[in-house]
Amino acid sequence: MIPLLFTLITLPYAPDALEPVISRETIEFHYGKHLQAYVDNLNKLIAGTEYEKLPLEKIVTDSQGAIFNNAGQILNHNLYFTQFSPVNAENHTPKGAILDAINRDFGSFDSFQAEFEQKGISLFGSGWVWLAADKEGKLVITQESNAGNPVTKGLRPLLTMDVWEHAYYIDYRNRRAAHLHALWQIINWEEINRRYIQ
Protein backbone atom coordinates (compact mmCIF):
# COMPACT_ATOMS: atom_id res chain seq x y z
CA MET A 1 0.00 0.00 0.00
CA ILE A 2 1.32 3.44 -0.93
CA PRO A 3 1.82 5.73 2.09
CA LEU A 4 -0.72 8.52 2.46
CA LEU A 5 0.58 12.04 2.05
CA PHE A 6 -1.58 14.62 3.74
CA THR A 7 -2.10 17.95 1.99
CA LEU A 8 -3.60 21.30 2.88
CA ILE A 9 -7.36 21.28 2.30
CA THR A 10 -8.82 23.67 -0.28
CA LEU A 11 -11.00 26.35 1.26
CA PRO A 12 -14.60 26.36 -0.07
CA TYR A 13 -14.54 30.19 -0.22
CA ALA A 14 -12.16 33.02 -1.08
CA PRO A 15 -9.66 34.10 1.63
CA ASP A 16 -11.52 37.39 2.15
CA ALA A 17 -15.05 35.92 1.97
CA LEU A 18 -15.51 35.69 5.75
CA GLU A 19 -14.76 39.35 6.44
CA PRO A 20 -15.41 41.14 8.73
CA VAL A 21 -15.89 38.12 11.02
CA ILE A 22 -12.55 36.54 10.04
CA SER A 23 -10.15 38.71 8.09
CA ARG A 24 -8.11 37.71 5.07
CA GLU A 25 -4.99 38.25 7.17
CA THR A 26 -6.19 35.76 9.78
CA ILE A 27 -6.98 33.22 7.05
CA GLU A 28 -3.51 33.71 5.58
CA PHE A 29 -1.84 33.02 8.94
CA HIS A 30 -4.26 30.52 10.51
CA TYR A 31 -4.92 28.43 7.41
CA GLY A 32 -1.92 29.24 5.25
CA LYS A 33 0.79 29.00 7.92
CA HIS A 34 -0.47 27.24 11.07
CA LEU A 35 -2.45 24.49 9.32
CA GLN A 36 0.23 24.04 6.67
CA ALA A 37 2.80 23.54 9.44
CA TYR A 38 0.68 20.79 11.03
CA VAL A 39 0.38 19.06 7.65
CA ASP A 40 4.11 19.27 7.00
CA ASN A 41 4.95 18.08 10.51
CA LEU A 42 2.60 15.10 10.38
CA ASN A 43 3.94 13.90 7.04
CA LYS A 44 7.47 13.93 8.48
CA LEU A 45 6.45 12.28 11.75
CA ILE A 46 4.55 9.35 10.24
CA ALA A 47 7.04 8.51 7.48
CA GLY A 48 8.10 4.89 7.95
CA THR A 49 5.73 4.30 10.88
CA GLU A 50 2.55 2.25 11.34
CA TYR A 51 0.55 5.46 10.82
CA GLU A 52 1.67 6.33 7.29
CA LYS A 53 -1.06 4.24 5.65
CA LEU A 54 -3.91 5.19 8.01
CA PRO A 55 -6.65 7.76 7.39
CA LEU A 56 -6.47 10.93 9.46
CA GLU A 57 -9.26 10.11 11.91
CA LYS A 58 -7.72 6.71 12.66
CA ILE A 59 -4.38 8.35 13.39
CA VAL A 60 -6.13 10.70 15.83
CA THR A 61 -7.86 7.87 17.68
CA ASP A 62 -4.81 5.58 17.77
CA SER A 63 -1.82 7.86 18.37
CA GLN A 64 -0.24 9.88 21.16
CA GLY A 65 2.32 12.63 21.56
CA ALA A 66 3.53 14.66 18.60
CA ILE A 67 1.76 12.49 16.02
CA PHE A 68 -1.56 12.91 17.84
CA ASN A 69 -1.03 16.65 18.28
CA ASN A 70 -0.37 17.29 14.59
CA ALA A 71 -3.00 14.85 13.29
CA GLY A 72 -5.55 16.21 15.74
CA GLN A 73 -4.89 19.76 14.70
CA ILE A 74 -5.28 18.86 11.03
CA LEU A 75 -8.59 17.10 11.65
CA ASN A 76 -9.81 19.93 13.87
CA HIS A 77 -8.86 22.65 11.41
CA ASN A 78 -10.28 20.74 8.42
CA LEU A 79 -13.65 20.57 10.18
CA TYR A 80 -13.33 24.18 11.34
CA PHE A 81 -12.49 25.79 8.00
CA THR A 82 -15.07 23.78 6.02
CA GLN A 83 -17.96 24.71 8.34
CA PHE A 84 -18.01 28.35 7.22
CA SER A 85 -19.56 30.19 4.31
CA PRO A 86 -19.43 33.86 3.26
CA VAL A 87 -21.26 36.40 5.40
CA ASN A 88 -23.81 37.09 2.64
CA ALA A 89 -24.68 33.40 2.12
CA GLU A 90 -28.21 32.14 2.85
CA ASN A 91 -27.29 29.07 4.91
CA HIS A 92 -26.58 30.68 8.29
CA THR A 93 -29.87 29.59 9.89
CA PRO A 94 -30.13 26.06 11.31
CA LYS A 95 -32.88 23.93 9.78
CA GLY A 96 -33.93 20.33 9.51
CA ALA A 97 -32.63 17.46 11.61
CA ILE A 98 -29.88 19.43 13.32
CA LEU A 99 -32.29 22.13 14.51
CA ASP A 100 -34.73 19.49 15.76
CA ALA A 101 -31.90 17.80 17.68
CA ILE A 102 -30.70 21.10 19.16
CA ASN A 103 -34.21 21.95 20.35
CA ARG A 104 -34.63 18.44 21.79
CA ASP A 105 -31.29 18.32 23.62
CA PHE A 106 -30.83 21.95 24.68
CA GLY A 107 -34.39 23.27 24.86
CA SER A 108 -33.89 25.95 22.22
CA PHE A 109 -31.28 27.27 19.82
CA ASP A 110 -30.72 30.30 22.06
CA SER A 111 -29.98 28.03 25.04
CA PHE A 112 -27.59 25.96 22.95
CA GLN A 113 -25.82 29.06 21.63
CA ALA A 114 -25.39 30.52 25.11
CA GLU A 115 -24.02 27.26 26.53
CA PHE A 116 -21.69 26.76 23.56
CA GLU A 117 -20.23 30.25 23.87
CA GLN A 118 -19.82 29.88 27.64
CA LYS A 119 -17.96 26.59 27.19
CA GLY A 120 -15.65 28.32 24.72
CA ILE A 121 -15.07 31.32 26.96
CA SER A 122 -14.41 29.20 30.06
CA LEU A 123 -11.97 26.74 28.46
CA PHE A 124 -8.65 27.49 30.12
CA GLY A 125 -5.70 27.92 27.79
CA SER A 126 -5.75 26.68 24.21
CA GLY A 127 -8.19 24.24 22.70
CA TRP A 128 -11.58 23.73 21.07
CA VAL A 129 -15.26 23.70 21.96
CA TRP A 130 -17.34 21.17 20.01
CA LEU A 131 -20.90 20.23 19.22
CA ALA A 132 -20.83 16.47 18.77
CA ALA A 133 -23.28 13.57 18.50
CA ASP A 134 -23.21 10.19 20.14
CA LYS A 135 -24.15 6.94 18.39
CA GLU A 136 -27.85 7.55 19.08
CA GLY A 137 -27.74 11.09 17.68
CA LYS A 138 -27.90 12.85 21.05
CA LEU A 139 -26.01 16.14 20.98
CA VAL A 140 -23.38 17.15 23.51
CA ILE A 141 -21.01 20.08 23.90
CA THR A 142 -17.45 19.17 24.80
CA GLN A 143 -14.39 21.19 25.74
CA GLU A 144 -11.15 19.75 24.35
CA SER A 145 -7.73 21.10 25.30
CA ASN A 146 -4.89 21.57 22.82
CA ALA A 147 -5.44 19.21 19.83
CA GLY A 148 -8.34 17.27 21.37
CA ASN A 149 -11.24 16.05 19.26
CA PRO A 150 -14.44 14.30 20.40
CA VAL A 151 -13.71 11.33 18.11
CA THR A 152 -11.39 10.10 20.86
CA LYS A 153 -14.49 9.74 23.07
CA GLY A 154 -16.51 7.84 20.46
CA LEU A 155 -18.42 10.97 19.42
CA ARG A 156 -19.00 12.42 15.95
CA PRO A 157 -17.79 16.05 15.67
CA LEU A 158 -20.26 18.41 14.01
CA LEU A 159 -19.32 22.02 14.75
CA THR A 160 -16.35 23.62 16.43
CA MET A 161 -14.88 26.90 17.53
CA ASP A 162 -11.13 27.27 17.85
CA VAL A 163 -10.06 29.03 21.04
CA TRP A 164 -6.33 29.00 20.36
CA GLU A 165 -5.29 32.66 20.29
CA HIS A 166 -3.89 32.36 16.77
CA ALA A 167 -7.49 31.85 15.57
CA TYR A 168 -8.63 35.31 16.61
CA TYR A 169 -5.82 37.51 17.95
CA ILE A 170 -5.25 39.49 14.72
CA ASP A 171 -8.93 40.47 14.50
CA TYR A 172 -10.07 40.48 18.14
CA ARG A 173 -6.87 40.73 20.21
CA ASN A 174 -7.71 39.08 23.55
CA ARG A 175 -11.51 39.36 23.16
CA ARG A 176 -12.27 35.64 22.88
CA ALA A 177 -15.96 36.13 23.76
CA ALA A 178 -16.48 38.65 20.95
CA HIS A 179 -14.80 36.29 18.49
CA LEU A 180 -16.97 33.33 19.50
CA HIS A 181 -20.17 35.39 19.31
CA ALA A 182 -19.30 36.71 15.85
CA LEU A 183 -18.66 33.26 14.36
CA TRP A 184 -22.37 32.40 14.26
CA GLN A 185 -22.67 34.86 11.35
CA ILE A 186 -20.62 32.55 9.10
CA ILE A 187 -21.61 29.04 10.23
CA ASN A 188 -22.83 27.00 7.26
CA TRP A 189 -25.72 25.11 8.86
CA GLU A 190 -26.31 23.08 5.72
CA GLU A 191 -22.85 21.58 6.27
CA ILE A 192 -23.49 20.98 9.98
CA ASN A 193 -26.80 19.29 9.16
CA ARG A 194 -25.04 17.12 6.55
CA ARG A 195 -22.49 16.01 9.14
CA TYR A 196 -25.30 15.20 11.56
CA ILE A 197 -27.45 13.08 9.23
CA GLN A 198 -24.64 11.23 7.43
The pLDDT of 171-185, averaged and rounded, is: 98
Confidence tier at 169 by pLDDT (50, 70, 90): very high
Confidence tier at 5 by pLDDT (50, 70, 90): confident
Q: 135-156 pLDDT, tens per residue?
A: 999 999 999 999 999 999 999 9
Bridge partners for 161 per DSSP:
129
d(CA 81, CA 9) in angstroms, rounded, equals 9
Residue 2 pLDDT: 62
Between the CA of residue 79 and those of 102, 128, 132, what are the distances in Å?
19, 12, 12
Q: Could you tell me the strand order of the sheet in which 139-145 lies? A: 139-145, 127-133, 156-162
Cis check for the bond before 20: say yes or no (omega within 30 of 0). Answer: yes
Please check whether residue 92 is in contact with residue 184, taking contact to mean a CB–CB distance below 8 angstroms: yes
What global pTM score does this model have? 0.96
- Domain positions in the chain: 24-81, 96-197
Confidence tier at 1 by pLDDT (50, 70, 90): low
Which residue, among 79, 108, 80, has the nearest Cα to 94 in the 3D structure?
108
Q: Given a cut of 60, is residue 98 above it in pLDDT? A: yes
Q: 59-82 pLDDT, tens per residue?
A: 999 999 999 999 999 999 999 999
Q: How many CB atoms lie within 10 A of CB 100?
A: 14
Please check whether residue 102 is in contact with residue 184, taking contact to mean a CB–CB distance below 8 angstroms: no
24-81: CATH topology is: Helix Hairpins (1.10.287)
The pLDDT of 112-137, averaged and rounded, is: 98
Q: Given a cut of 90, is residue 56 above it in pLDDT? A: yes
Are 24-81 and 96-197 in the same CATH fold? Answer: no
96-197: CATH topology is: minor pseudopilin epsh fold (3.55.40)
Q: How many CB atoms lie within 10 A of CB 80?
A: 21
d(CA 70, CA 197) in angstroms, rounded, equals 28
Which residue, among 140, 134, 136, 100, has the nearest Cα to 119 in the 3D structure?
140
